[in-house]
Structure 1
Amino acid sequence: MRAALMLAVLAFATLSCGRSTPPPQKLEANAFLDTTAPSVIFPAFGDADPHDWEERHPGHYPVHGLDVSRWQGPIDWRTAKASGVSFVFIKATEGGDVADPMFDDHRRGAQAAGVPWGAYHYYYFCRPAREQAQWFIENVPKGADLPHVLDMEWTPHSRTCTLRPDGRTVRAEAQRFLDILERHYGRRPIVYTTVDFYADTDIARLPKTEFWLRSVAGHPRQVYPGSIWRFWQYTGTGLVPGVQGRVDINTFNGQPDIWARWKANAY
């Protein structure tokens, strides 16, 4: 009996040894479930205007999510989650007097479907940082699953504010905003930014700050040399079940176990 058992074990080991898995981007939407973070799956989203990635395809990263605003309209969050959406950042406020009318609907829908959420503020350089931070706090309740986001980019097409402060001023204003939100919500916000703003303002010098970088035509290591990033927005033309029309898609820089620990604020 013992000899037969030994042979069975050896046979199983022979079959298991060297078994390879397909690259993550080739998996079907529900093909991968990580036991340490069962809500995380490799997605299989579409893209209305796909980029021909030469290096480090976004599909190499397993944790993907959206950022949304009023322009997406109503979202079927359960369908979106089932397709591979592991998180969402929802637009809440802009400047010091604009609130996104879909914020509460998106927030409640994501919560009901079990999609981790955070909110973002679109910054205008014609308002003091303190005033904008207070406006955000008035509109965004505590209880988010993720840190909130300060969206800083140039606004050349704005009808009300096209100021372009120097880098020192930008960093000082960002620091004030981040400090106020950190004191109120208990976790330091992330900074979202674009290639030109990142280069013009040297915003990477902000201390204790994680970054969410937009790069739809190249990996961040190519577009933002030497940068350290937590999230990467890799397309603005994504097609995701449950979402009407095109939507921004992002990936988290890490595997599901790292995502689970980071989300739980273990870092």
Structure 2
Amino acid sequence: MWGLGRFVLIVAALALAGVAAWRVAIRWHPSIERFPVQGIDVSEINGIIEWPVVKGGGADFGYAVATTGTIARDRLFQQNWEAMAAAGMRRGAVLVFSFCQPAAAQADAFNTVVPRDHGALPAAIDFSYAEGCVDRPERGALIRDVTEMIRRVESHTGAPVLLRVSRAVEDDYHLTDAFKRSLWATGNFFAPGYGARAWRMWRASDMHHVEGIEGPVNWNVAAK
């Protein structure tokens, strides 16, 4: 009986330690001294956001998903886009790339949704694998299609795009070798080391909690 009681105490202690670690993890962000510019990226899954509160919580900028593929427009993009500006935050738009739809058409869809704003942050194109899309084009064909996509988006925005490339996609396609654009890399808690060049943006946590948003949000830092 004593052995069972001791076991229960050990389990309880481990559970408490796990809760404590989780509480630390959801508030963690890289050092402000090392990375003074930090912010979030969001989509409609984050719900209604109180942007002035988020800014007060330490976010200097925000990126919002505008479109996914050719026809999926983020239902909260326009609201987020306007609210970021009203809160005095720098703002940027994200095109989530689909390997299952024509790249040029995806660029055109993005351009119809995102207003021209020469004061905005560079538009970002997200390359990551998504459930429900199993197409994996040959690298040469993908590079040709993405080249046209980038041309169209940059013609609209007037600035070089930022490429948010997951480690899995980079391993398969080496996009950072093909395109001389700034890299937005991803990696929870540990600075990523993949890609042909040093990252300019790092998504440091996808579980960060900040006042003004219900639930976890992606937290990012910019390189100096």
TM range (shorter): 0.7 to 0.9
Partner of 1:139: 113
CA RMSD of aligned residues (A): 2.1
Question: Could you tell me how far 1:207 is from its partner in structure 2?
Answer: 3.3
Q: Mark the structure with the bigger radius of gyration.
A: 1
Q: Give the TM-score of the pair, scaled to structure 2.
A: 0.83
Q: Give the TM-score of the pair, scaled to structure 1.
A: 0.70
Question: Could you tell me how far 1:217 is from its partner in structure 2?
Answer: 4.6
Alpha carbons 1:48, 1:238 under 8 Å: kept: no
Instruction: Quote the Cα distance in structure 2 between the aligned partners of 1:134 and 1:199.
Output: 28
Per-residue Cα deviation, 1:122-148 (whole angstroms, up to 9, x for no partner): 111222111111000111111151010
| Superposition map of 1:80-119 within 5 A | 80-119=54-93
Q: Is 2:100 aligned against 1:126?
A: yes
Question: Could you tell me how far 1:226 is from its partner in structure 2?
Answer: 5.6
Partner of 2:129: 154
Instruction: Quote the Cα distance in structure 1 between the aligned partners of 2:134 and 2:208.
Output: 28
Partner of 1:203: 175
Question: Could you tell me how far 1:153 is from its partner in structure 2?
Answer: 1.2
| Superposition map of 1:36-51 within 5 A | 50=25
Alpha carbons 2:40, 2:219 under 8 Å: kept: yes
Q: 1:48 to 1:89 in 2, by over 3 A?
A: farther
Partner of 1:240: 210
Aligned residue type for 1:231: M
Q: Which runs of 5+ in 2 are unaligned?
A: 1-21
Aligned residue type for 1:241: E
Q: Which runs of 5+ in 1 are unaligned?
A: 1-46, 255-267
Alpha carbons 1:147, 1:187 under 8 Å: kept: yes
SS in 2 for 1:85: coil
Alpha carbons 1:151, 1:192 under 8 Å: kept: yes
Per-residue Cα deviation, 1:85-135 (whole angstroms, up to 9, x for no partner): 011110000111110000011111101001111100111122211111100
Q: 1:83 to 1:129 in 2, by over 3 A?
A: same
Sequence identity percentage: 28
